[in-house]
């Protein structure tokens, strides 16, 4: 049995924060293995990268999610008691609630809502000297998410809910005052969501049966009991927050279009294969740009893998970005080449921006389908519905941010209809 290679130094937290998207793959290259041991936040941690590591990570029998994520991040990003913290049968049962919301016609309805809001907002954009796409998308996707989910949203509270929902992912890993500000946002938006759940259960709000709020408010656990209102609130936010968070991918898609003008033209001109072209483009954005750099789990019991010994209780970090840019899988992996997805094998462990394995059996996020659909809707709108100009200075990515949002949020100006 081999010893897992260990990185020099007492703790790697600073190095990880300094280079969050490159640290694990770079360090794995240094030790010449797909895994290594270090300390993160003073805890013994095994870092892993690559498709084989991803397959191990998403096999339910060895690793679990409960207690793996640092509490300070979980409390803001995911809340407590939600589906991401469950394992085994409980996870599969709760996940069925989310899968029930992801039927093709429901996702198409969300696209239609978003497309309508985009078209309606253009007149306002035309009046503005500059449009910050990321900020606009956060607001627009908050409206879209609530309308689609059956959650009432007054005009006067749009800005507040947009700010609160965005804080859950923008500041999940923040420290100092930003952390506590995000904790406050989580507390307040959970209270609001719980009130909505309660209003459905007592009949004051009567949403359509296919909406997220109806399904979540009436979902029963494996023992047949309704979810506690606070847990149902967490799960409702697990619908609303990820939809708003697509604004990050959309800003990244705009950044990619503006830095790859040939693809701007290709998306506009290739009408015969537009759906495939759009799909390939947004998948390449998700592969190269990413959201969070890694995900965490804990070892459920002692086991061996590729000659290495894993001990019960050890924390494991899986490198998402490194796996999605692994040169063993992807030719010229750091180059922006959307056409590569025409030949992709669809191996669920080589491309894992929102988790790996099966959507139905593992922790791969079913919201991935919504992310792709909304990104495609936006890219089609940006290249085929409007013309615009860019500032002379190109936008750069803030690669040390979690998630990496383009500086200034991608600014366009002089917007006109095509």
Helices and strands (DSSP H and E) totals, the chain: 15, 10
pLDDT at 394: 65
What is the tens place of the pLDDT at every residue in 282-308? 999 999 998 889 999 999 999 999 999
Domain map of the chain by residue range?
13-417
At 274 the pLDDT is: 81
**Confidence (pLDDT) at 272:** 67
pLDDT, tens digit (0-9, with 9 covering 90-100), for 330-371: 999 999 999 999 999 889 999 999 988 777 666 677 789 999
Q: Which CATH number fits domain 13-417: 1.10.357.10, 2.30.30.30, 1.10.630.10, 1.10.760.10?
A: 1.10.630.10
Arithmetic mean of pLDDT over the chain: 91
Distance (Å, whole) CA 92 – CA 238: 16
Tokens representing 400? 């040390």
The predicted pLDDT at position 218 comes to 97
Q: Specify whether the CB–CB gap between 354 and 367 falls below 8 A.
A: yes
The pLDDT assigned to 215 comes to: 97
What DSSP designation does 3 have? P
DSSP 296-365: EEEE-S-EEETTEEE-TT-EEEEEHHHHHT-TTTSSSTTS--GGGGGS----TTT--BTB-S-TTTSS--
Q: How large a percentage of the chain has pLDDT more than 90?
A: 72
pTM for the predicted model, two decimal places: 0.93
Instruction: Enumerate residue ranges in the chain where pLDDT < 50.
Output: none
pLDDT at 25: 95
């Amino acid at each position: 049995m081999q010893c897992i290679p260990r990185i020099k130094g007492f703790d790697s937290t600073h190095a990880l924060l300094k280079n969050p998207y490159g640290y694990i793959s770079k360090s794995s290259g240094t030790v010449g293995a797909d895994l290594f041991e270090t300390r993160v936040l003073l805890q013994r941690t095994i870092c892993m990268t690559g498709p084989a590591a991803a397959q191990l990570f998403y096999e339910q029998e060895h690793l679990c999610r409960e207690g793996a994520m640092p509490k300070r991040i979980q409390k803001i990003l995911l809340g407590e008691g939600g589906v991401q913290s469950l394992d085994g049968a409980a996870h599969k049962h709760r996940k069925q609630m989310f899968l029930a919301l992801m039927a093709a016609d429901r996702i198409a309805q969300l696209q239609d809502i978003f497309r309508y809001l985009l078209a309606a907002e253009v007149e306002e954009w035309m009046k503005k000297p500059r449009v910050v796409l990321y900020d606009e998308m956060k607001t627009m996707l908050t409206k879209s998410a609530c309308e689609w989910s059956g959650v009432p949203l007054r005009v006067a509270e749009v800005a507040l809910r947009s700010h609160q929902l965005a804080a859950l992912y923008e500041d999940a890993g923040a420290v100092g005052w930003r952390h506590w500000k995000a904790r406050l946002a989580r507390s307040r938006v959970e209270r609001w969501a719980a009130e909505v759940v309660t209003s459905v259960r007592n009949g004051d709000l009567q949403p359509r049966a296919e909406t997220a709020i109806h399904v979540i408010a009436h979902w029963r656990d494996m023992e047949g009991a309704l979810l506690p209102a606070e847990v149902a609130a967490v799960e409702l936010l697990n619908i609303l927050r990820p939809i708003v968070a697509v604004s990050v991918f959309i800003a990244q898609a705009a950044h990619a279009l503006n830095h790859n003008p040939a693809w701007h033209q290709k998306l506009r001109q290739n009408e015969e294969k537009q759906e495939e072209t759009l799909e390939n483009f947004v998948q390449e954005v998700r592969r190269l740009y990413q959201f969070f750099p890694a995900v965490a789990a804990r070892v459920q019991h002692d086991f061996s893998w590729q000659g290495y010994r894993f001990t019960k209780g050890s924390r494991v970090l899986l490198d998402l970005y490194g796996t999605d840019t692994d040169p063993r899988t992807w030719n010229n992996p750091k180059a922006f080449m959307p056409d590569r997805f025409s030949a992709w094998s669809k191996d669920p462990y080589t491309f894992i921006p929102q988790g790996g394995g099966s959507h139905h059996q593992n922790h791969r996020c079913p919201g991935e389908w919504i992310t792709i659909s909304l990104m495609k809707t936006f890219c089609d709108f940006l290249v085929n519905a409007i013309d615009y100009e860019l500032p002379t200075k190109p936008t750069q990515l803030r690669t040390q941010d979690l998630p990496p949002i383009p500086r200034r949020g991608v600014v366009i100006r002089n917007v006109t209809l095509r």
